[in-house]
Amino acid sequence: MCLAIPGEIVEFVPDRPGLAKVEVSGVRRAVNIGLLEGEGLAAGDWVLIHVGFALSRIDEAEAKATLTMLEGIGAAYDEEIDALRESRID
Amino acid sequence: MRFVDEYRDAEKAHHLAASIAALCEPGRQYKFMEVCGGHTHTIYKHGIEDYLPEAVSLVHGPGCPVCVMPMGRVDDAIHIASQPNVIMTSFGDMMRVPGGNGSFFDAKAAGADIRMVYSPLDALKIAERNPERRVVFMGIGFETTAPSTAMTVLRAKAAGITNFSVFCNHVTILPAIKAILDSPDLRLDGFLGPGHVSTVIGCRPYEFITRDYRKPLVVAGFEPLDILQSVHMLLAQLAEGRSEVENQYGRVVPWDGNTRALQVINETMEPRPYFEWRGLGFISHSALRMKDAYADFDAERIFDIPGGRVADPKACQCGEVLKGVLKPWECKVFGTACTPETPIGTCMVSSEGACAAYYNFGRFTRERVKEATR
C-alpha cells in the first residue's frame, strides 16, 4: 500500500461522478477521483493512484517514467498490481 | 559508474555526482535524512550511497507506516478481529507485522476473519455485502493514505452504512521529524522530504524545519536521478548558507498540496494528544483519531480495546534504525534471527522498511559495487 502508481483514465462511470475507470499496467479498474474534484479530468489524462484514490494529476511523460521505474522494482510492484486486480470499487 | 546505465539520463547522473562532490567543503561530513521509505527503497535498489562522496551519508528515517506501528496497536487490532461477527480488513503490508501475540496472519490461521483489501473502499464494499457482519478497516498510513480512509467514512455515512468502522492508526509525519530533530542522538544537516505525503500536505508545513532548526529540506521524487538532484540541492543550500524548503518533485507535488484531501481529513479526523511510534516512543499530536461526529464509524469506541503497551523485543533495534542512528546491518539480529521471512522488527516486514530494502537489494548492490571498484 506504500506505492502510488500511475494510471490512465479510460472512461468515466455513468451515474457515478466520483469514479473513473483507469488502466494500470494492463489492469483496468475503477478508482475514486473525488480528491481531484474540480480539476476537469478527462479521458486520456494520467493520475497517480494510491489505495484506490487518484491523488494527483501528472503528465504522460512523468507517468511513463514512473511506470518504468516501478516495473523495475519487482516484487513490491507486482504485489500492488495483484492487489489492484482484486479490487472491486464501484 | 556502472549503475548509471540504469538511469534515464546517464549523462545527467555523471554530471550530478561530480557537482555533488565539488559542493562538499573539504573536511566536512554531511548527514541527510530521507524521511520516506520509498526513498530508502530507491537508495538501496540503485546503490546510491556507495557512489556519493565519502563525506555525504544518507540516513533512513521513520517514513514507513508499517514500520512505526507499535506492537500494542497490533494486539488491539487482533482483539477487535477476534470479537463475534467481525470481519477485519487490512492492506496486505500489515498482515505480517508482529504484535505481542503474533500477527494478523497468525490470528487468521487461528480462525479470525481477516481479509486483505487493496482500498478502504473495498472494505466498505464487504460491509455492504455482509450487512449482518461488523466490518472494520485497519486504517494505517501517513497523510498520503488518511484522505482515502476519510473519503470512505464520508461515503459510508452518506450511504447510511452502519456496519462499517475504522480502527484509526493514521500518523502524521511532521511531529516525528520534530522528535528526531529534538533527539540528542543524531546530528543532521538536512532532509529529503517525502514525495507522496507532500502531494497532500504541500511544502509549506516543513517551514518550521528550515526556520526554527535551520536545516534545509528538499521534497524529492523517487527515481535515482531525483535523489541525486535533491542531495545536490541540499548541498547547494548549505554552501550558500541558506535553509529553505525546495521542491525537486514539482512535476507531481503542488506547493500547496491537495486542499480537498486536507479538507476531508479535517472533516472526519483530529490529532490525538499522543501516539506511540515503534522505537521512537510516545510523540505528541503525531496521529489521528476519528472526530466525535464520526463516533459511529470509530472502531475504538465501538469495541472495548485493551489499549496495552507492549515493549519491543529486547534484541530488536528498529528504534535506532528508524531514527537513523543505526544502519540496518549494524543491528544485532539483522539477517540472522530477523529476516523478511521471520521478521522480529517491523523494519524487516514492509518492502519499504530500511532493513527489508537492504536485505533484498542493498547488500547485493554493495557487493557488486565493491567488485566493480576493486
- Across the range B291-313, mean pLDDT stands at 93
- Across the range B250-261, mean pLDDT stands at 95
Q: What is the ipTM of this complex?
A: 0.95
Give the side-chain half-sphere CA count within 13 A for B25. 10
Q: A72 to chain B: which residues are within 8 Å by CB?
A: 6
In this prediction, residue B372 carries a pLDDT of 58
Considering only CA atoms, give the Rg of chain B: 21
**Is the pTM here over 0.95, yes or no?**
no
CA distance B243 to B212: 10
CATH of A5-86, one of 3.40.50.800, 2.30.30.140, 3.10.50.40, 3.40.47.10: 2.30.30.140
pLDDT at A21 over 80: yes
Please report, rounded to a whole number, the percentage of residues in chain B having pLDDT higher than 90: 67
Distance from CA of B354 to the nearest CA of A (A): 13
Which residue in A has a C-alpha nearest to residue B124's C-alpha? A89
**Which amino acid belongs to residue B6?**
E
Q: What is the pLDDT of residues B200-239, one digit of tens each?
A: 999 999 999 999 999 999 999 999 899 999 999 999 999 9
pLDDT band for B187, please (50, 70, 90 cuts).
confident
Tell me if chain A has a CB within 8 Å of the CB of B141. Answer: yes
pLDDT band for B369, please (50, 70, 90 cuts).
low
pLDDT band for B181, please (50, 70, 90 cuts).
very high
pLDDT at B109 over 50: yes
Q: Which of B9, B117, B119 to mutate to test the interface with A (most CBs of A within 10 A)?
A: B119
Using an 8 Å Cβ cutoff, are B258 and B214 in contact? no
Facing residue for A2 by CB, picked from B125, B264, B352:
B352
CA distance B175 to B282: 11
Of B156, B216, B164, B227, the C-alpha closest to B191 is B216
Which residue in B has a C-alpha nearest to residue A19's C-alpha? B121
Of B353, B349, B328, the C-alpha closest to B340 is B349
Q: What is the pLDDT of residues B306-331, one digit of tens each?
A: 988 888 888 888 888 888 888 899 99
pLDDT at B149 over 70: yes
Q: A47 to chain B: which residues are within 8 Å by CB?
A: none
Considering chain B, what is the average pLDDT of its residues? Answer: 91
Distance from CA of B368 to the nearest CA of A (A): 18
Which residue in A has a C-alpha nearest to residue B90's C-alpha? A1
Q: Beta-carbon neighbour count of residue B124 at 10 Å?
A: 23
Domain limits of chain A?
5-86
Tell me if chain B has a CB within 8 Å of the CB of A57. Answer: no
**Would the CB atoms of A86 and B141 count as touching at under 8 Å?**
no
Tell me if chain B has a CB within 8 Å of the CB of A71. Answer: no
Tell me if chain A has a CB within 8 Å of the CB of B130. Answer: no
Label each residue of chain B as H, E or C.
CHHHHHCCCHHHHHHHHHHHHHHCCCCCCEEEEEEEHHHHHHHHHCCCHHHCCCCEEEEEEEECCCCCCCHHHHHHHHHHHCCCCEEEEECHHHCCCCECCECHHHHHHCCCCEEECCCHHHHHHHHHHCCCCEEEEEEEECCCCHHHHHHHHHHHHHHCCCCEEEEEEEECHHHHHHHHHHCCCCCCCEEEECHHHHHHHCCHHHHHHHHHCCCCEEECCCCHHHHHHHHHHHHHHHHCCCCCEEECCCCCCCCCCCHHHHHHHHHHEEECCEEEECCCEEEECCEEEECHHHHHHEHHHHCCCCCCCCCCCCCCCHHHHHCCCCCHHHCCCECCCECCCCCCCHHHCCCCCHHHHHHHHHHHHHHHHHHHHC
Facing residue for B199 by CB, picked from A2, A56, A79:
A56
Strands A27-32 and A19-24: antiparallel
Strands B134-141 and B86-90: parallel
Q: B93 to chain A: which residues are within 8 Å by CB?
A: 1-2
Q: Which residue has the cell 508499517?
A: B66
Of A66-70, B123-127, B141-145, B218-222, minimum mean pLDDT range: A66-70
